[in-house]
Copies of this chain bind each other. A is one copy, B any other.
Amino acid sequence: MVITLEYDGSGFQGWQLQARGRTVQGVLEQAVKRSTTAFSRVIGASRTDAGVHALGQVAHFDTCTRLDARQLMGALNHWLPRDVAVLDCRPAPSGFHAQFDPSRKLYRYRILRGGVRHPLREDCVLRESRELDLGAMRRCAAMILGEHDFTSVCSAGSSANDHVRTVLRSELLDQGDEVHYMVEAGGFLYNMVRILVGTMIQVGLGKMTPGEFALALGARDRTAAGPTAAARGLTLVRIAYENDPRTGWSADSADLR
């Protein structure tokens, strides 16, 4: 089965199963077990960090249940807690793998401009009260486009050997009192989006020039880049597969939010 998921990351220690702590993978595997009466390993496309949200995470699992996809989706949503839901469920084509099949992932990072807390958005934005030079940040966003070695914006905990990634979209949108950084790529390194945002904010604050941003990106050295921006601003918006088993499913409206 292949499932598409929305979750509020605030109450989770991230996607991946851990010895302790509530994880999205953990509550999903429990819901699958309750729905099908048998354990299945659930494999997610992206191992989102604690606090990171998803509007369109994708996962797959094998099951021998006699429930059809529609019934299984109903059962999963019945057993899942209120901060996770299955938006779509269908049989996976033979051999489909959510994590390793070629895909494009779109992330959005929301920066709220202003020092005042906004309770209805607080868990989904990074607040920045200081003035941001959006023009300078836009020049950085443009530099991120294309194929680069992104070692400088990869956290030390990464297990990836190859740090070259191709960014297909890298854009700052002016959304009222928010700025949204939209970034899409075939794959990302550990904490890559959050470090890119943290470094662009340094540029926006005038603590780094766009030229220095270019040098930092090229340095292949994590210490050359800025800090890792807070997880809560980040949302995995959607994942599109090269041969997407979810024809007819659309998350297009999702990236407007």
Give residues in A with beta carbon < 8 Å to B. 6-8, 53, 55, 77, 82-87, 116-122, 124, 176-177, 253, 256-257
Contact = CB atoms under 8 A, between A and B. Distances in A.
A53 B122 CA distance: 14
A3 to B, nearest CB: 12
A176 B6 CA distance: 17
Copies of this chain in its oligomeric complex: 2
A53 B121 CA distance: 12
B119 A7 contact: yes
Nearest to A74: B115
A122 B81 CA distance: 12
B119 A253 contact: no
Contacts of A122: 82
B82 A117 contact: yes
A6 B85 contact: no
9 contacts: A6-B118, A6-B120, A8-B120, A77-B117, A84-B119, A85-B117, A85-B118, A121-B257, A176-B256
B55 A85 contact: no
B176 A55 contact: no
A8 B256 CA distance: 21
Contacts of A119: 6-8, 82-85
Nearest to A80: B117
Contacts of A256: 176
A120 B55 contact: yes
Given A6-B119, A6-B120, 19 more contacts: A7-B119, A7-B120, A8-B119, A8-B120, A55-B120, A77-B117, A82-B117, A82-B119, A82-B122, A84-B119, A85-B117, A85-B118, A85-B119, A87-B116, A87-B118, A120-B124, A120-B257, A176-B253, A177-B253
